Amino acid sequence: MGKKTYKKTDVSKAKTEKLGISSLLVLDDESDGSSFSAVHKRYFRNEKCTCPACQSQKTRTSKVVTRKFKDILTGDDGFEIIDLIFHQRYLRCDGCKSSVFPEDIDFSEKGSRFTNRLSDLLAEGTFRYSYKKVCDFYGVPASTASVGAIMRRRIQYREANQPTLSTPSTLAIVEFPYYRELYPMILGIEGKEIYCLDILVDCSEATYIKFFRMFEANKVKHIYIEPNEELRSAIAACFPTVPPCLSQECVLRHGRNAFIEIIHSDGKRFPVVHKDDKLTQNKKFITGRDVSQIKQGMSNRPRLNKAYNQFQMLLDIFDGKWEYGDLSSWTASIPDELSEFIDLIDITEFYDVEIQNSLQPEESPPTQYTAVVKGICDAISEMPHCIFDVLRARCMLTIAHDTIASDDCEKRLGIPAARFIDNIKKITENIKEEREYEL
């Protein structure tokens, strides 16, 4: 396999044992104890590496590239961070004569600058704390290029140790915004209990179908959807006998979001504390000084005042028993200048069947459903920015799931919504906390 730079006599048995990575041999060089120089055990063997392109074993060493990893050694006195210098061979295939490839390594993930045992510790900490703070705790650089690789590895490990999901009688999909991206939260409802089942990577039909295929379709009786054509197609493909519903909560959430957009554009320096919450409440619950302050703030903001009155009309419709015609008449009354409501107008028109399906008595979600969805969306929105893998790991893999015995095995019901919201708030506090902490 070509001329070798090192010989077996260059290997240090003591250093190899101290490093403790079974696939590596440490060289006896002049480096200090904080640095280990190593080659793969295959380096001194006659076995040929297989070409990944043509599966030929007519391969030979083309070059050796030195790669630097951070590693951790643990002992009774704590831990020590070391530099692992790995001499990785690149091999050329004489079979296909066009392939040059690196030898496989099993002590680190592709794209990571840490060994697996160190990356696992970093990932475990990042489930509940800031990635940078965890790296600072261990005294290693916070490599953003590595965070995805180390999290995905640990996510796979945790998921492999979870029971499979139980099929809920009711599914609910809530698409929430998080730093300009839209992600679906899948909820399961059993009786009055609402469970968080998972967060998906995007809102595409393929992603939805892949997730829905995990369930027993005949056990799902009700589905609450978002106004998303790809979701509607996925529901039709996976649950053809279940009529999807677009709930009052969903309509109200989209109306509230439209109104808040107007508040932010036309309500700058509005004389009310927590104006988003106050202005989106039903005005019959507004008392005291807030009443006069809202009146004062609206006096010189005519467009905001129109939007406020329009949104109050929507709240009044939903305050009692209502019909689809009430909602349709409301959207028809929206002035053209309130263009932020255009999406809700389209939703009402193009999802009329799904909205009317939700008006059937047996389709009513639990009374706390609206508050639960708002609590989930608010809790996630407060979490500092992170990539999707970290977001999903923190939300779904750090909190205990309820389980049930089903078909002679244990299955997951999901995370009860109240527990989910409380834990997400605690994780956000951990991330935002400025002082030093113990992991």
Range of lowest pLDDT (149-158, 207-216, 243-252, 258-267): 149-158
pLDDT above 60: residue 438: no
Q: Where does the pLDDT of residue 185 fall: very low under 50, low under 70, confident under 90, or very high at 90 and above?
A: very high
211 & 342 share domain: no
Task: Kindly report the CATH number assigned to the domain that includes residue 425.
Answer: 3.30.420
Q: Where does the pLDDT of residue 46 fall: very low under 50, low under 70, confident under 90, or very high at 90 and above?
A: confident
Residue 356 lies in a domain: no
Distance of CA 323 to the CA centre of its chain: 36
Q: What is the pLDDT of residues 311-320, one digit of tens each?
A: 999 999 999 8
Residue 19 in contact with residue 107, Cβ under 8 Å?
A: no
What is the average pLDDT across 55-79?
A: 89
Q: Is 250 exposed, middle or buried (0-12, 13-18, 19+ CB in 10 A)?
A: buried
Q: What is the 3-state secondary structure (H, E, C) of 184-210?
A: EEEEEEECCEEEEEEECCCCCHHHHHH
Residue 273 lies in a domain: yes
Q: What is the pLDDT of residues 323-334, one digit of tens each?
A: 999 999 999 999
338 & 386 share domain: no
Residue 152 lies in a domain: no
Q: How many Å apart are CA 286 and CA 273, to the nearest integer?
A: 13
Residue where a domain stops, chosen among 67, 86, 107: 107
pLDDT above 60: residue 110: yes
253 & 239 share domain: no
Q: Where does the pLDDT of residue 188 fall: very low under 50, low under 70, confident under 90, or very high at 90 and above?
A: very high
Residue 65 lies in a domain: yes
Q: Which residues pair with 174 in a beta bridge?
A: 185
312 & 397 share domain: no
Q: How many Å apart are CA 400 and CA 415, to the nearest integer?
A: 7
Q: What is the 3-state secondary structure (H, E, C) of 220-231?
A: CCEEECCCCHHH
Residue 303 lies in a domain: yes
17 & 96 share domain: yes
- What is the number of structural domains in the chain? 3
103 & 27 share domain: yes
Residue 431 in contact with residue 439, Cβ under 8 Å?
A: no
260 & 316 share domain: yes
Residue 114 lies in a domain: no
pLDDT above 80: residue 346: yes
Q: How far is CA 189 from CA 172, 220, 358, 366, in A?
A: 8, 10, 15, 8
Within 8 A by CB and 6+ apart from 309, the residues are: none
3-state SS class at 10: helix
Q: How far is CA 400 from CA 202, 390, 436, in A?
A: 24, 17, 26
List the helix and strand counts (H, then E) for the chain. Answer: 16, 11
Q: Nearest 5 degrees, angle CA 416-CA 421-CA 427? A: 120
392 & 315 share domain: no
Which residue did the predictor score with more confidence, 52 or 338? 338
Place of tokens 């992600």: 183
1 & 102 share domain: yes
Residue 223 lies in a domain: yes
**Which 8-state DSSP code applies to residue 113?**
S
Q: Where does the pLDDT of residue 149 fall: very low under 50, low under 70, confident under 90, or very high at 90 and above?
A: confident
Residue 140 lies in a domain: no
Residue 38 in contact with residue 103, Cβ under 8 Å?
A: no
pLDDT at residue number 145: 76
Q: Where does the pLDDT of residue 2 fall: very low under 50, low under 70, confident under 90, or very high at 90 and above?
A: very low
Q: What is the pLDDT of residues 214-241, one digit of tens each?
A: 999 999 999 999 999 999 999 999 999 9
Residue where a domain stops, chosen among 293, 318, 350: 350
Residue-range definition of the domain harbouring residue 218: 170-246+362-432
224 & 192 share domain: yes
336 & 206 share domain: no
Q: How many Å apart are CA 358 and CA 263, to the nearest integer?
A: 29
425 & 335 share domain: no
Residue where a domain stops, chosen among 107, 134, 161: 107
